[in-house]
């Protein structure tokens, strides 16, 4: 699939941008250098006739992305939350992509539901509406259960969406391979791994059973979070292409006028969106990774309600600690510690100068403090960070892609509610609380306790494992040294000491 025929797909992408008039608008929004603008126009113009026409009623950029397909629409959804990067006008135009795309016929949705659930729609639901929202992958209907009268939301995948996404991803792989071949210096960014990660995330989103599982886990994790709610899935009415959730009433977070009219405090909402995201990422290691305005509502009581759980992020405990220490270091302006964490985690090659890296981080961090957040250009900040990563040989961390992307999206959502929000001031109490609980003596005691539990499970095998290792070492060594007969006992003693520490720490908790 990843052959040269994808050249046609990529040429058509450029041609569609040219035909819809989007290419000039996009290059201007990104403040592309003159050379790039000229090159793009020269390459796009001869093939303009190959471009997709799109809906002439839509603005150029939105028209082009909707014509090109779901993967491009996802990209546009992310940009719609970043007016500081693409400008207020384009961000407003791209909000159309969040939940106002053309729906597919209700009759088709009913047929798909009957095929997936094995029962007629009229038997399951006493009422079933026309689509109330339509996005890049699925659309949602408002329904009422015939058995209980409960209002529910029924999400149905777009017909043929799996094949359409695979075609786009196939072309992205081809583009990534071409970039690595033409520009070898780009390999440190691991474009092929980035696309593979994107593929895994997107294909997971195309199975609504996985989304139902994510919704259930997320709801359980956040049950105690004040001012935040997650609708729970109805498992008996969910399948691969259909998902049923409890119905949620609320104001779309993108509608500032309606939020103001209802008396909601937008500044408080902005701070809560940011703090909740950080809390979920750090505390739980499981976070909503598609938190644009189309997936967030505000209930009558002011609670934020999250929707659409197709893209979720997960971080292991070690990565969470690294991420928290990096954030904490920036908050405290301790750039030396931030640099040390990068080196300790292996994010920066060990042969680089840590003091130079700390100075580079200071240039990134200092403009943030003591300045109105509305004056900070995130586009310039990201551009400088890219220069820093290139200079110090940092590689793209595929496990952090969703976290980094979601942080950008969430900040964009918060800034649309409160243009003057300072992300560091909001983040500080959340990060400090995590650091207090998970980095330091208490965390060390918990780690020892977990280590002791693992050693206890493998206790009967420890003598044989130690003996086998010692024999292997003596066999492999050019001039073997006879192991001390006390060595196994020393290892066992160490294991026992750790086990006792685990018992003692368990009593402390």
pLDDT in tens, 14-57: 888 888 888 777 777 766 667 666 766 776 677 777 788 888 88
Widest distance between CA atoms in the chain:
84
Burial 158-189 (b: 16+ CB within 10 A, else e): beebbebbbebbbbbbbbbeeebeeeeeeeeb
Query: Do 149 and 183 sit in the same domain of this protein?
Result: yes
Helices 335-344 and 317-331, packing angle to 10 deg: 160
| Alpha-carbon gap, residue 446 to 439, rounded angstroms | 10
pLDDT at 187: 64
pLDDT at 199: 77
Q: What are phi and psi of 128, to 5 degrees?
A: -145, 115
User: Which domain-ending residue is among 183, 217, 247?
Assistant: 247
User: Which domain-ending residue is among 247, 267, 287?
Assistant: 247
User: Which domain-ending residue is among 392, 419, 439?
Assistant: 439
Query: Do 287 and 429 sit in the same domain of this protein?
Result: yes
| Alpha-carbon gap, residue 277 to 281, rounded angstroms | 6
Catalytic positions, written as ranges = 290
Q: Which domain holds residue 188?
A: 102-135+137-247
pLDDT of residue 167 exceeding 90, the answer is no
> If DSSP codes are grouped into helix, strand and coil, which group holds residue 186?
helix
Overall domain count for the chain: 4
Whether 419 maps to a domain, the answer reads yes
Exposed/middle/buried for residue 423 (C-beta within 10 Å: 0-12, 13-18, 19+): buried
Among the residues of 54-139, which ranges form H helices?
60-68, 70-79, 83-86, 88-94, 96-99, 106-117, 121-124
State both tokens at 183. Answer: 């520009």
| Alpha-carbon gap, residue 223 to 137, rounded angstroms | 28
Residues 232, 219: contact at Cβ < 8 Å?
yes
Mean pLDDT of all residues belonging to the chain: 80
More confidently predicted of 399 and 335: 335
Structure letter (DSSP) for residue 281: I
Of 216-230, 309-323, 474-488, highest mean pLDDT: 216-230
pLDDT at 435: 86
pLDDT at 491: 47
pLDDT of residue 494 exceeding 60, the answer is no
Q: What are phi and psi of 225, to 5 degrees?
A: -80, 115
pLDDT band at 376 (very low <50, low <70, confident <90, very high): low
pLDDT of residue 499 exceeding 50, the answer is no
Whether 193 maps to a domain, the answer reads yes
Query: Do 381 and 253 sit in the same domain of this protein?
Result: yes
pLDDT at 503: 44
pLDDT at 8: 76
Query: Do 463 and 402 sit in the same domain of this protein?
Result: no
Query: Do 69 and 110 sit in the same domain of this protein?
Result: no
Structure letter (DSSP) for residue 54: -
Query: Do 259 and 223 sit in the same domain of this protein?
Result: no
Query: Do 39 and 145 sit in the same domain of this protein?
Result: no
Kindly report the number of other CB atoms within 10 A of residue 193's CB atom.
15
pLDDT at 398: 59
For the chain, give the number of residues.
509
pLDDT of residue 141 exceeding 70, the answer is yes
Query: Do 331 and 415 sit in the same domain of this protein?
Result: yes
Query: Do 54 and 106 sit in the same domain of this protein?
Result: no
Of 58-62, 156-160, 370-374, 387-391, highest mean pLDDT: 156-160
pLDDT band at 184 (very low <50, low <70, confident <90, very high): low
pLDDT tens across 436-481, in order?
888 766 667 777 777 777 767 776 777 777 778 778 877 765 555 5
pLDDT of residue 368 exceeding 70, the answer is no
Query: Do 300 and 423 sit in the same domain of this protein?
Result: yes
Mean pLDDT of 223-242: 94
pLDDT band at 482 (very low <50, low <70, confident <90, very high): low
More confidently predicted of 263 and 445: 263
Whether 1 maps to a domain, the answer reads no
pLDDT band at 67 (very low <50, low <70, confident <90, very high): confident
461-468: list long-range contacts, CB under 8 Å, 24+ apart: 462/491, 462/492, 462/495, 463/488, 463/492, 466/491, 466/492
pLDDT at 355: 93
Exposed/middle/buried for residue 54 (C-beta within 10 Å: 0-12, 13-18, 19+): buried
Query: Do 421 and 383 sit in the same domain of this protein?
Result: yes
Over its C-alpha atoms, the chain yields an Rg (Å, rounded) of 26
pLDDT at 379: 46
Query: Do 349 and 422 sit in the same domain of this protein?
Result: yes
Of 194-208, 285-299, 369-383, highest mean pLDDT: 285-299
Residues 307, 297: contact at Cβ < 8 Å?
yes
């Amino acid at each position: 699939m990843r052959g040269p025929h994808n050249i046609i797909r990529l040429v058509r992408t450029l041609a569609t941008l040219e035909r819809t008039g989007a290419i000039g608008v996009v290059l201007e929004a990104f403040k592309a250098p003159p050379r790039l603008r000229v090159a793009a126009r020269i390459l796009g113009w001869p093939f303009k006739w190959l471009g997709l026409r799109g809906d002439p009623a839509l603005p150029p950029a939105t028209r082009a992305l909707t014509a090109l397909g779901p993967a491009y629409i996802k990209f546009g959804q992310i940009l719609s939350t970043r007016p500081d990067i693409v400008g207020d006008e384009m961000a407003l135009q791209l909000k159309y992509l969040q939940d106002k795309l053309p729906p597919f016929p209700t009759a088709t949705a009913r047929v798909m539901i009957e095929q997936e659930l094995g029962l007629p729609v009229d038997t399951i639901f006493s009422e079933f509406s026309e689509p109330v929202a339509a996005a890049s992958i699925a659309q949602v209907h408002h329904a009422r259960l015939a058995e209980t009268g409960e209002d529910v939301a029924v999400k149905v995948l777009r017909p043929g969406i799996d094949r359409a996404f695979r075609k786009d991803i196939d072309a992205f792989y081809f583009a990534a391979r071409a970039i690595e071949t033409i520009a070898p210096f780009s390999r440190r960014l691991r474009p092929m791994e980035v696309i593979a990660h994107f593929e895994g995330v997107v294909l997971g989103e195309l199975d609504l059973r996985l989304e139902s599982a994510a919704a259930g886990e997320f709801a359980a994790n956040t049950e105690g979070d004040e001012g935040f709610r997650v609708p729970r899935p109805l498992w008996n009415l969910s399948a691969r292409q259909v998902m049923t959730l409890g119905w949620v009433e609320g104001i779309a977070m993108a509608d500032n006028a309606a939020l103001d009219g209802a008396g909601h405090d937008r500044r408080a909402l902005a701070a809560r969106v940011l703090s909740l995201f950080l809390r979920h990422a750090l505390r739980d290691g499981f976070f909503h990774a598609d938190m644009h305005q189309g997936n967030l509502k505000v209930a009558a009581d002011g609670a934020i309600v999250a929707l659409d759980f197709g893209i979720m992020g997960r971080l292991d405990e070690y990565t969470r600690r690294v991420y928290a220490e990096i954030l904490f270091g920036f908050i405290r302006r301790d750039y030396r510690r931030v640099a040390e964490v990068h080196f300790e985690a292996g994010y920066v090659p060990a042969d680089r100068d840590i003091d130079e890296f700390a100075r580079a981080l200071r240039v990134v961090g200092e403009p943030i403090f003591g300045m109105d957040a509305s004056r900070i250009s995130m586009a310039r900040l990201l551009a400088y960070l890219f220069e820093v990563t290139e200079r110090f040989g940092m590689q793209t961390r595929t496990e952090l892609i969703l976290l980094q992307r979601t942080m950008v999206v969430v900040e964009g959502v918060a800034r649309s509610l409160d243009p003057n929000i300072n992300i560091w001031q909001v983040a500080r109490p959340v990060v400090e609380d995590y650091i207090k609980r998970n980095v330091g003596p208490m965390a060390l005691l918990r780690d020892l306790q977990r280590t002791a539990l693992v050693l206890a499970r493998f206790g009967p095998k420890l003598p044989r494992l130690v003996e086998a290792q010692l024999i292997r070492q003596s066999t492999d060594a050019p001039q073997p040294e006879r192991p001390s007969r006390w060595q196994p006992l020393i290892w066992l003693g160490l294991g026992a000491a750790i086990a006792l520490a685990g018992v003692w720490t368990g009593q402390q908790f």
